[in-house]
């Protein structure tokens, strides 16, 4: 594959780089560079800047306010964002439910929801997994029973990332128990301020509070908030998951982390010499770099196919599998390179403006939390084991 950009794309790359460097707030950039905690207001500020530039939704059609960029422009944009340590915008609206709404939603739903997703005025979260329905999502039990012009929803969702930030949640709910399990599911859009919704945090092993359990007790949801047909929500869910899994690859993010890994290995001493001088460690870095380059080529192939009218198919599971494995490899190698400085975990050191004595090199405090947090990437969005089964069945025909 020829990765040489045309003159037009090179000019676009220069435009993007200049804009980001000139407009990304320095405090947010510093948080990203050092791996510090990103707050909702940080994401909202950066979202507003990109929205005012017209760059908030690279994938969306122009008719809905998006950029409708070709595959190369989207690739360049993602690369430049990662290079400058810009925070990722919340994917639940822009990448997940937004495309579902403009593809399958009513005109009223498009008018109500899309502008506020695009501007960042409303944050979304995802109501898919349940305590007894994670990888086997079709076994979900949250029920929505029609009652006049509303559904009455009861159940529990779990692993609802950033539910504490969200204004809206998109939910898979059971509206029928007849036939195949997949045929009795509907897709609802629910206001998080509706009475009967309670969010309880789940503190992760790295000390983070990004995921939650969300309880729904007699929550009244207007029938008009159902996307598409009743009992056909599995179709819309699969469409959404295809977009989610392709975005989990995070090639630009991994390339930035690889650059940081090489920097750590060149600076941190082990046995009186930099880690980068250890032949075994250099071999490990080379191995993950080769994997990352092949993933990059594969992602570009899928992006090009998408521009030719082929939506994300089962093949995107490959991006999810390899992308998350690489992310885990990179955090493991970063921990090894940093040595003893990677072990201390002081939550206060993850806050911007913390000015106590440093714990080893500047980014050392963020490595342990990153290592533990990235353990989950091979689980969310459908476990890697499930993705391998999908590949075997849908791609290889086994």
Name the burial class of residue 227, with classes exposed (0-12), middle (13-18) and buried (19+) by CB atoms within 10 angstroms of its CB.
Answer: buried
| Residue 230, token pair as written in the block | 């009743």
Q: Which long-range contacts (CB under 8 A, 24 or more apart) does 38-43 make?
A: 38/87, 40/123, 40/162, 40/165, 42/87, 43/87, 43/88, 43/89, 43/90, 43/120
Instruction: Report which of 336, 321, 255 is spatially closest to residue 288, judged by C-alpha positions.
Output: 255
Q: Which of 79, 80, 122, 244 is catalytic?
A: 244
| Residue 308, token pair as written in the block | 């030719």
Is 122 considered catalytic here?
Answer: no
Give strand pairing partners of 212: 201
Query: How far is it, in rounded angstroms, from Cα 194 to Cα 197?
Result: 6
- The span from the first CA to the last CA of the chain, in angstroms, equals 29
From residue 338, give the alpha-carbon distance in Å to each of 31, 281, 322, 365, 366: 19, 12, 24, 10, 11
Indicate which residues carry an active-site annotation. Answer: 244
């Amino acid at each position: 594959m020829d990765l040489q950009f045309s003159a037009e794309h090179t000019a676009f790359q220069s435009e993007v780089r200049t804009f980001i460097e000139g407009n990304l707030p320095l405090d947010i950039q510093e948080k990203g560079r050092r791996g510090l905690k990103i707050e909702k207001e940080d994401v909202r500020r950066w979202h507003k800047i990109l929205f005012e530039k017209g760059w908030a939704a690279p994938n969306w059609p122009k008719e809905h306010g998006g950029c409708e960029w070709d595959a190369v422009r989207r690739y360049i944009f993602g690369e430049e964002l990662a290079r400058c340590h810009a925070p990722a915008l919340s994917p639940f609206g822009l990448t997940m439910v937004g495309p579902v709404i403009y593809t399958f939603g009513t005109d009223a739903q498009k008018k109500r929801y899309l502008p506020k997703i695009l501007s960042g005025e409303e944050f979304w979260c995802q109501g898919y997994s349940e305590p007894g329905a994670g990888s086997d999502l079709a076994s979900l039990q949250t029920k929505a029973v029609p009652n006049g012009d509303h559904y009455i929803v009861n159940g529990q969702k779990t692993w609802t990332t950033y539910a504490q930030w969200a204004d809206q949640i998109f939910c898979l709910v059971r509206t029928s128990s007849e036939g195949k399990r997949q045929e009795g599911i509907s897709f609802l859009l629910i206001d998080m301020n509706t009475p009967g919704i309670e969010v309880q945090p789940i503190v992760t092993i790295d000390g983070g509070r990004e995921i939650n359990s969300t309880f729904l007790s007699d929550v009244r949801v207007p029938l008009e908030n159902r996307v598409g047909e009743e009992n056909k929500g599995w179709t819309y869910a699969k469409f959404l998951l295809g977009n989610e899994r392709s975005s989990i690859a995070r090639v630009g993010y991994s390339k930035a982390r690889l650059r940081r890994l090489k920097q750590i290995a060149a600076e941190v001493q082990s046995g009186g010499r930099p880690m980068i001088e250890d032949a075994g460690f250099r071999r490990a870095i080379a191995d993950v770099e080769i994997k990352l380059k092949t993933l990059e080529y594969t992602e570009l192939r899928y992006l090009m196919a998408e521009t030719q009218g082929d939506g994300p198919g089962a093949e995107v599971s490959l991006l999810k599998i390899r992308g998350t494995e690489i992310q885990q490899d990179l955090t493991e190698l970063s921990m090894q390179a940093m040595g003893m400085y990677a072990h201390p975990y002081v939550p206060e050191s993850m806050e911007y403006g913390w000015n106590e004595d440093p714990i080893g090199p500047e980014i050392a405090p963020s490595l342990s939390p990153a290592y533990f947090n990235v353990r989950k990437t091979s689980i969310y969005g459908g476990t890697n084991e499930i993705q391998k089964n999908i590949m075997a069945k849908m791609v290889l025909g086994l």
